[in-house]
Structure 1
Amino acid sequence: MKPEKEYHGVIVPMITPFKEDNTIDGESVERIVGLLKNAGVYPFILGTTGEAPSISDEQKDRMVAETVRYAGADCPVYAGISSNCFEESVTMARKYYEMGVHVVVATLPAYYPMNNEQMLKYFNDLADQVPCPLIIYNMPATVKQSIPLEVLDQLSHHSNIVGTKDSERDMDRLDRSIELWKDRPDFVHLLGWAAQSACALKKGSDGIVPSTGNFVPELYQDLYLSNLEGKFERADELQRQTNDLSLLYQKDRILSQSIPALKSILAVMGICGTKVLPPMYRLHDEAVFQNNIKEELQKLEIIQLNE
């Protein structure tokens, strides 16, 4: 059995639940965090799935406060601090750490293209100034630039950079990443490409970051533990199940459509509402989608609907 590093396991990129006036829905935060804690997994807030670029500073603060409150001292909270303004990222990191966040997560800035030297300088400077462990988030689907592995490997030796969360869909990159860091006790590889969770964990990745974990966190925890215990057939079957569930809201949808669809699934389950912030909007066929989803979920004994 591979020994677990300090940062490991299933880290769910949590949706941000809103009320109709665009404020944080604290009751829904409590329900979601409770669902994650009961499954033994951890929340990652203010990331891509959490609509972080669209949320005001005031509401980000509220989201952090509510999540930390319901997570409690025994459940580490990961929080995104990505901004095109360096000082804003540093300010968020310092504030969130004081509020109880354990680890901060940052992408590249999304406006100006950067070369390797600039990437190194940016993340080294950020790691120097944030007061807690930093995970580097490679998300070329939204940032429009990939962080080369040679850059990440150089950054991995900074004492305050503890890992990377990689959402790039590239099998060769995945294999090379794991070879680089699987035996490093001070640096973790977390996979954001949920469809390859079982494969990555079997090869030596330290954790997974699946958005579908918002409504079936227990399946991903089972998948993670099955790999850890060498039960690879069980893990592969869970991978097939979770991939099918992911298709319910991701198939034939771009990211700005799949997140509203994910919230619609959570609404059907009685967990939160469907409010999203511009530039995202509710599904135009939301009622039809929810009726279809309810039928699909009722066929799956693994999901309990709150009637």
Structure 2
Amino acid sequence: MPTKLTTRGHSRADLRGTTIVPLMTPFTASGGLDEVGVARLVEHVLAGGCEGILVAGTTGEFASMSVPMRERLFGLVMRIVNGRALVFSGIGDTSMEHSLALAAVALEAGADALVANLPSYYPLTDSMVEDYFVALAERVAAPLFIYNIPQTTRQSVPLDVIERLSRHPAIMGVKDSEPDPQRQVRLGRSFVGREDFAVFCGSVGTARVAIEAGADGYVPGVGNLLPRFVRDSLNALFEGDETERATAQRSLDEVNAVYQRGRSVTQMFAALKALLEIAGLCGRHVLPPLQAVGDEEARQLERALGDVTVKSWMQP
């Protein structure tokens, strides 16, 4: 089978072992885009050695942002990155036309690939799911990654649908955030030997099993806070022996638990952003309907992070 590009200028082999950080979006107290905070956060992620950034994904609160704000964010991040890392632009939306408008701006700004999740309002049949991604791929005519995240879209993209979509010339990979170890293993194994379709694990709790099964890398939200830690953890998951891989996964789980345990998906984002404020990277402001963490909870988060063994990985 001929090799397709999985990003503009990169094959699957080039992406093997890549850490893609789903960038949080810094906001001002009035709900505007905090451009200084964006620049500081991007530089922090790049200084930690991470090779990719996902802009306007779930962790970036894309669903609460207007189309113009997302378009502005695309251009801003591309200017800051300036070719130093791969940039994946999230174009998910309930409106196909909005996704296409976002895609056009992202590609014009220089994005390496586009990432699209399912529209999350209407319940969809498997046929609707497949037709949606095919229609989107044919209209953007650029490297497109399927994004599976049933925690927010309320339905999973079936593995057989992903396999059929992988044959489309514009669909280059998948970011799968479903926290199901068995699914991650099946997904990873399904594309072993396929050089034209990349697989990235978005569920960090299943990173070890996904990578051992054949996934190319992962997309860790905590990379916003601890980029060097997630970069080194991925190295261990790829290159370490069984003990080193187990230790890396255990450390990832320990750090993630600081802001995830006992919280819903949306509460996790607010908690992680509070940790970014504590680290001096950006404010804790979130967009409605999310709610920012209060002062006492922020202090609890800081103490909890201080108790984990990797706290020294935090960068100034």
Structure-2 change in CA distance of 1:24 and 1:223 (3 Å): same
Unaligned runs of 5+ in 2: 1-10
2:250 to 240, 245, 255: 240
Aligned counterparts of 1:71 and 1:305: Cα–Cα separation in 2: 19
1:25 to 30, 34, 39: 34
TM-score normalized with structure 1 length: 0.93
Using the TM superposition, give the Cα deviation of residue 6 of structure 1 relative to its aligned residue in structure 2, in angstroms.
3.6
Aligned counterparts of 1:78 and 1:222: Cα–Cα separation in 2: 21
What SS is found at the alignment partner of 1:184? coil
Is 1:16–2:25 an aligned residue pair?
A: yes
Using the TM superposition, give the Cα deviation of residue 302 of structure 1 relative to its aligned residue in structure 2, in angstroms.
1.9
Residues 17 and 24 in structure 1, CA contact (< 8 A), matched pair in contact too: yes
Structure-2 change in CA distance of 1:114 and 1:288 (3 Å): same
Q: Could you tell me which residue of structure 2 aligns to residue 288 of structure 1?
A: 296
Residue 138 of structure 1 aligns with an amino acid whose one-letter code is: N
Aligned counterparts of 1:305 and 1:185: Cα–Cα separation in 2: 36
Q: Could you give the per-residue CA deviations for residues 244-270 of structure 1, whole angstroms, max 9, x where no partner exists? A: 111111111111211111100000000
Aligned counterparts of 1:305 and 1:119: Cα–Cα separation in 2: 41
Deviates more, 1:5-14 or 1:256-265: 5-14
2:13 to 5, 16, 34: 5
Residue 145 of structure 1 aligns with an amino acid whose one-letter code is: Q
**Correspondence list, 1:135-284, <5 A:** 135-283=145-293
**Correspondence list, 1:38-187, <5 A:** 38-41=47-50, 42-187=52-197
Q: Could you give the per-residue CA deviations for residues 187-212 of structure 1, whole angstroms, max 9, x where no partner exists? A: 01111110121222122111101111
Aligned counterparts of 2:190 and 2:75: Cα–Cα separation in 1: 36
TM-score normalized with structure 2 length: 0.91
Q: Could you give the per-residue CA deviations for residues 132-180 of structure 1, whole angstroms, max 9, x where no partner exists? A: 2000001111111111111110000111101011111222211211111
Using the TM superposition, give the Cα deviation of residue 289 of structure 1 relative to its aligned residue in structure 2, in angstroms.
2.1
Using the TM superposition, give the Cα deviation of residue 4 of structure 1 relative to its aligned residue in structure 2, in angstroms.
5.9
Aligned counterparts of 2:107 and 2:93: Cα–Cα separation in 1: 17
Aligned counterparts of 1:229 and 1:241: Cα–Cα separation in 2: 16
How large is the RMSD of aligned CA atoms in angstroms?
A: 1.7
Aligned counterparts of 1:245 and 1:57: Cα–Cα separation in 2: 33
More contact order relative to length (CA 8 Å, sep ≥ 6): 2
Aligned counterparts of 1:40 and 1:169: Cα–Cα separation in 2: 26
Residues 13 and 214 in structure 1, CA contact (< 8 A), matched pair in contact too: yes
Deviates more, 1:287-296 or 1:128-137: 287-296
Using the TM superposition, give the Cα deviation of residue 84 of structure 1 relative to its aligned residue in structure 2, in angstroms.
0.9
Aligned counterparts of 2:267 and 2:185: Cα–Cα separation in 1: 30
Aligned counterparts of 1:13 and 1:260: Cα–Cα separation in 2: 14
The percent of aligned pairs where both chains have the same amino acid is 32
Using the TM superposition, give the Cα deviation of residue 21 of structure 1 relative to its aligned residue in structure 2, in angstroms.
2.0
Residue 96 of structure 1 aligns with an amino acid whose one-letter code is: A
Residue 181 of structure 1 aligns with an amino acid whose one-letter code is: F
Aligned counterparts of 2:208 and 2:278: Cα–Cα separation in 1: 28
Residues 93 and 131 in structure 1, CA contact (< 8 A), matched pair in contact too: no
Number of aligned residue pairs: 302
Q: Could you give the per-residue CA deviations for residues 217-270 of structure 1, whole angstroms, max 9, x where no partner exists? A: 212211222233244422321221121111111111111211111100000000
Aligned counterparts of 2:314 and 2:128: Cα–Cα separation in 1: 48
